[in-house]
Chain A
Amino acid sequence: MNRRGERRQRIRAQRMYRLLVRLYPAAHRRAFGQQMVQAFGDHYSDAVQCRGGSRLTFWLAVLADTATSLLAEHASEVRARGRVAVNTLRRRRNGGTGDSSYRRAEPRRGGATAMRGIAVGQGIGTSRRVRVRRRLRYGRHASRKARVVIRARHHRLVYRGRLSALAVTVVLAAVALGVGSATAHLGITALVTGPLVAFWLGYRVRLTGPVPAGPGGDGLAPPGGAGVREPRRPLPMSPAGAAARSQLDDDPPGQAVAVIRYR
C-alpha cells in the first residue's frame, strides 16, 4: 500500500478509536482524549503498517484494553463522586454546627465541582428540589431523564439510564462475543453475556403506561368522574346571578348613604 493509502487507513482507524474514547468519563476524555488518539495512531502505524501485523488481532487487543480501562475509569469516577457526595454532606453537617473556619478554608471551585458532580450523577438541568421530589415519588432512578425507545398507543418502552452506560454495555458485549468467536468459544461467551445484558436491560428499560399531565402528575382522579368538572355557575348579570349575588351585606355602609343623597 502506498503512503497516502496508509495515512488514510490510519486516519480511519483513529476516527474509530475516537468513538471508543467517547465512552470514557468526560473528565478523563478532556484531559487525555487527544493524547490517547494520537498514541493509538502511533501504535496502529507501528503494529499494523510497519510490522505488518494482523488488523483483527490488533483491534481485538485494543477492544480488550479499552473494555478493561473503561471499567476501571468509570469505577474510579463513581468512587470519586461518592467521596464528593460524602464530603458535601459532611460540609453541610459542619455548616450546621457553625464551623465557619472550615467553610472558609474550602475553595469555592471545589464546592462548584462537587455540586456539578452530583448534578451529572442525577440529571443535568434539573433543580435539586425537583430531583428529590421525583425520587421520593417514583423511586431511585426516576430523577434521570427517560428516553422513549418504542412508543405504542397505550404503552412506551423507556430507557432510564445513561447513554454512555448503554454504549459501554454494547462494547463489552461486542468484545466478549468477538473474543469468544476468535477463541472458538462463542457458545459459552453468548451464554455468559446474554443473561448479563438481559439483566442490565431489565434493570434500565421499563414499560410504562400513559403519564398524567402536569410536572409531577395530578395523581388519581376523584371518584365519580363528572366531579372533575367544575359545576356551572350563574352569570353575574342574569336574574339567577342577581339573586345569588349578595349586595347590601357586602357593600360598605358609606356608599349606600351617598346614593340616597344624590337622588
Chain B
Amino acid sequence: MGSERAPVPLTPAVFHILFALAGGDKHGYEIAKQVTEDSQGRVNMGTGTLYGSIKRMLADALIEEAGQRPAPELDDERRRYYRLTEQGHRALRAELARFARVVTIARSRDLLAQV
C-alpha cells in the first residue's frame, strides 16, 4: 500500500504524468502524448520511462487503473486506462502550490522579467 503522504517535490516524470491525468483517464501512449503537448514538445517520455513511473505511482497509490473505459469497438480491449487517486490529486495540488509560491517569490524579486 502506498504511503500516507506523497513525496514533495515530485520527480519531473511523476509531475508530468499527474498533470496529464488531471484532464481525465488516459492509457499509456495518451499520457505520453499529453505530456509532450503540455510541455510544448520539450519533454518526450519514452515507453520505458513512462511505465517505470507508472509502476512507482501505482505502488505509491498516486494513480490507479480506471474501471470505466471506452466501448470495445472504439478501442483496443487490451489497453489499460489510468486515473488519479485522491492522494494523486493532493500531491499534484501540493506541487502546483509549491510552483506558485516559487513564482510569487520570483515576481517579488523581479526575476521573471529577466527570463
Contacts and interface: CB of A to CB of B under 8 A. Distances in A.
Contacts, number: 62
A181 interface: no
Interface stretch (A60-68, A93-101, A116-124, A207-215): A60-68
Interface residues of A, number: 25
B55 A39 contact: no
A132 B64 CA distance: 41
B17 interface: no
B19 to A, nearest CB: 18
Contact of B49 (A38, A40, A68): A68
A61 B76 CA distance: 26
B11 to A, nearest CB: 11
Interface stretch (A26-34, A195-203, A227-235, A245-253): A26-34
Contacts of B56: 76
A40 B47 contact: yes
Interface of A: 17, 24, 28, 31-32, 34-36, 38-40, 42-43, 46, 61-62, 64-66, 68-70, 72-73, 76
10 contacts: A32-B51, A35-B51, A38-B29, A38-B76, A65-B46, A65-B48, A65-B49, A66-B48, A69-B46, A76-B56
Interface of B: 27-29, 32-33, 44, 46-52, 54-56, 76, 78-80
